[in-house]
């Protein structure tokens, strides 16, 4: 199992569609006793939260966000935690919206900057 996500800041490696998270979005992760949660902001996201569980290297969580245009959206994501050769953490994500149509995959990786 890869190391804890607690205190790590992660960012997408590529932009998603407009109005979604992108390379300017930062996720500040927390983890304790199999629970995970994060706050995120940046790009088209004013404020976002995710909450879920971790079993081994698998995360299962729900997310909700407020966008710059004043709309909200929510969805579900399952991620695999991968430790990179340089020791950083990567999440390989498969997600789907629950508040609208659509879904996809994305990758977020640990960055060395401070949490937002």
Residue 28 included in any domain: yes
Cα separation, 95 vs 76, in Å, equals 6
The answer to whether residues 36 and 53 touch, using CB atoms and an 8 Å cutoff, is: yes
Asked if residue 4 belongs to a domain, the reply is no
DSSP 98: S
pLDDT < 50 positions in the chain? 116
Distances (CA, A) of 9 to 2, 41, 65, 72: 15, 11, 17, 23
The range of the structural domain enclosing residue 66 comes to: 9-111
pLDDT of the residue at 91: 97
Evaluate whether residue 3 is within a structural domain.
Answer: no
Neighbours of 99 (CB within 10 A): 11
Instruction: Output the pLDDT for position 50.
Output: 98
Number of structural domains (the chain) is: 1
DSSP state of 88: -
CATH number at residue 34: 2.40.128.30
């Amino acid at each position: 199992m890869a190391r804890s996500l607690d205190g790590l800041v992660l960012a997408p490696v590529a932009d998603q569609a407009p109005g979604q998270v992108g390379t300017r979005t930062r996720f500040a992760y927390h983890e304790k006793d199999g629970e995970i949660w994060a706050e995120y902001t940046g790009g088209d996201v004013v404020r976002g939260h995710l909450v879920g569980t971790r079993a081994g290297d698998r995360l299962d969580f729900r997310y909700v966000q407020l966008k710059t245009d004043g709309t909200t959206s929510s969805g579900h994501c399952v991620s695999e935690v991968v430790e990179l050769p340089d020791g950083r953490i990567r999440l390989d994500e498969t997600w789907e919206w629950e508040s609208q149509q659509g879904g996809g995959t994305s990758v977020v990786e640990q960055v060395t900057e401070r949490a937002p």
